[in-house]
Amino acid sequence: MENKDFKPYIPAEKITPELTVTSIVMGALLAVIFGAANAYLGLRVGMTVSASIPAAVIAMGVIRVIMRKNSILESNIVQTIGSAGESLAAGAIFTLPALFLWAAEGKMDKPSLWEITIIALIGGLLGVFFMVPLRNALIVKEHGVLPYPEGTACAEVLLAGEEGGAKASTVFAGMGFAALFKFIIDGLKLVAGEISVSVKGFAGQIGTQIYPAVMSVGYICGPRISSYMFAGGLLSWLVLIPLIVLFGANITLYPGTEPISAIFAEGGAGAIWETYIRYIGAGALAAGGIISLIKSLPLILRTFKGAVKGMSGSKENTERRTEKDISIKVVLLSIAVLTLLVWLIPAIPVSFIGAVIIVVFGFFFATVSSRMVGLVGSSNNPVSGMAIATLLIATLVLKLTGATGITGMCSAIAIGSVICIVAAIAGDTSQDLKTGFLLGATPKKQQIGEIIGVIVAALAIGGTLYLLDSAWGFGTNELGAPQATLMKLITEGVMDGNLPWALVFIGAFIAVLVEVVGIPVLPFAIGVYLPVQLNACIMVGGLVRLALDKLKRSKEEKEAIVNDGVLFCSGMIAGEGLMGIVLALLAVFGLNSVIDLSGKLAIPAIVSNLGGLALFAIIILTLLKFSLWKKRK
């Protein structure tokens, strides 16, 4: 129900600076920074985080404190443009690295920068344009019904203007410390980045990574989600791997090419995980995504029906500044042009009917995505589930119409990429429009800001993917790319049936079992798929958050402590991501060996491991320094 009595912070009658040169330049810079950082994080741990709040904090710190300008709507445009980069990266890294994985197998050439850019750009622009007519239906008319948690929190951060400098300094401190820690671990290599422990006679393994960004994911997600991921990791590494080695010692089991005992002897638990467990994890992830989608179907159908019905009340030429959208004629023309581009551009090889289907699916999932993030927040938006459903349908249709082999599989991934990016951008745009609605921003200027953010991020994402692939390669220990690997496995499985289906079905039924007992299936499935060391590092972050949540302080003080921790961790994620890009550049130019001190100093393994644990303790202490022990006015 529309709240007609609602009054935004800046009244509609008041005109203040919004889409200025300052806000565009700052926003574009943050779009590239947070886009690159989120791409790195997503490829590493299979999860991405919203950049809206840290972008808002940095904008407030720079515009209000450094530039001495009192312009909350200008800061809002900065976070609007900046968060678009993060969301586009999140959508792209779930699918596009599959093309690099096929290139590494010699099945095709690497996708060109042009192909990556055009796929990202089309998906991003469609996501923005679809949200223009939906704004009135979902943001305005459903105010008070759909909370849009990140959008509301972002508005609160921007409203806390007098704290802008302190909050921004917390984010920048996190960036600086994480960049330093990452440089010590992966640049200088003075300490171990991962510590593992195994017991003789037992094939299982446990351990932890020592990375600030990974721990920060656990802190931001909280103890519940972290524990689900950790439980999935324990099942894989302390139950499934020992069982496979115990009962299959002398058996050669596909996709392995030698006896399991020989695989274990050569590579330990990690080799068993690589050969078998990742297929079980893929089955769990696919089932988890589909379960999430099925559970959302009633809501999806209601949302789509209500949004289409509400579009008739969309206003395009209203006199009120806070109700002005981009002209619906411009929107429809743009969508028509983008539909033709999907059909005509070779990077997305589909027929005209196929292009229309992509656009229809895209609008459907944009509506779904906006409603979902309005209710449960961006972190719980089942984007990967939507991508899986699209990929299954697209691959089947392409196979039935004769588009088989690597050509058909590339087409399916391109289609899935567009839909995935549409859903991610639509969710982000709706959160940003909610922030603007609460603050009294001009929707048209925010929508233009989203378009700018999408264009900048689309131009940067191809270079980022190429850089990370050149430095470490996708599907490696450094960059596991879990979602993209899953999309590749699904497409191959449907197209030519070469999957070890028994392992995939085991994972799928594990996901069903977990759902039956009431555990959120997606974080558990991600835990099954990823290395236990990574899950354990996330769990540490979750435990730190749990300890702060249990503090015996006043409600206001506890909220301030936890929120400062979230800001510091957001900074740490950005800082490690950026240092990861810097180290990738050094690796590409062959300079990584120049700064690597591990061989030059001949550091013993025990010293390296103890140093890693000591550094991990320092990482936790810095988090506490900027949250629990931070001096507040």
Phi, psi of 4 (to 5 degrees): -75, -15
Cα(166)–Cα(65) distance, rounded to whole angstroms? Answer: 10
Q: Is 478 in a helix, a strand, or coil?
A: coil
Contact 447, 325 (CB under 8 A): yes
What pLDDT score does 170 carry? 84
Dihedral of alpha carbons 582, 583, 589, 592, sign: positive
Best-predicted range by mean pLDDT (12-26, 313-327, 497-511) = 12-26
Q: Which two tokens stand for residue 461?
A: 């994402």
| pLDDT at 565 exceeding the cut of 70 | yes
User: How much is the average pLDDT of 557-586?
Assistant: 84
| pLDDT at 381 exceeding the cut of 80 | no
Q: Which residues pair with 207 in a beta bridge?
A: 196
The mean pLDDT of the chain is 84
Dump pLDDT digits (tens) for 507-525.
989 999 999 998 888 788 8
User: Range with the lowest mean pLDDT among 40-44, 66-70, 116-120, 405-409?
Assistant: 66-70
What pLDDT score does 71 carry? 78
| pLDDT at 208 exceeding the cut of 80 | yes
Q: Is 8 in a helix, a strand, or coil?
A: coil
Quote the pTM value: 0.73
Pick from 350, 345, 355, 396: nearest CA to 111: 345
What pLDDT score does 307 carry? 57
Q: Give every CB contact of residue 426 below 8 A, 6+ residues apart in sequence.
A: 127, 128, 130, 131, 365, 366, 367, 369, 370
Query: Which residue type is seen at 414?
Result: A
Cα(601)–Cα(599) distance, rounded to whole angstroms? Answer: 6
User: How much is the average pLDDT of 468-484?
Assistant: 84
- The residue among 274 and 186 whose pLDDT is bigger is 186
Q: Which two tokens stand for residue 465?
A: 């993917």
Phi, psi of 10 (to 5 degrees): -100, 115
Q: Give every CB contact of residue 557 below 8 A, 6+ residues apart in sequence.
A: none
Q: Give CA torsion, residues 248, 287, 218, 182, to 10 deg.
A: 70
pLDDT confidence tier of residue 160, bands split at 50, 70 and 90: low
Q: Which residues pair with 206 in a beta bridge?
A: 197
pLDDT confidence tier of residue 304, bands split at 50, 70 and 90: low
Cα(374)–Cα(354) distance, rounded to whole angstroms? Answer: 30
Contact 540, 142 (CB under 8 A): no
Pick from 106, 84, 105, 102: nearest CA to 38: 84
Cα(222)–Cα(612) distance, rounded to whole angstroms? Answer: 24
What pLDDT score does 447 carry? 95
pLDDT confidence tier of residue 541, bands split at 50, 70 and 90: very high
- The residue among 603 and 46 whose pLDDT is bigger is 603
Residues of the chain with pLDDT > 90: what percent? 28
| pLDDT at 83 exceeding the cut of 80 | yes
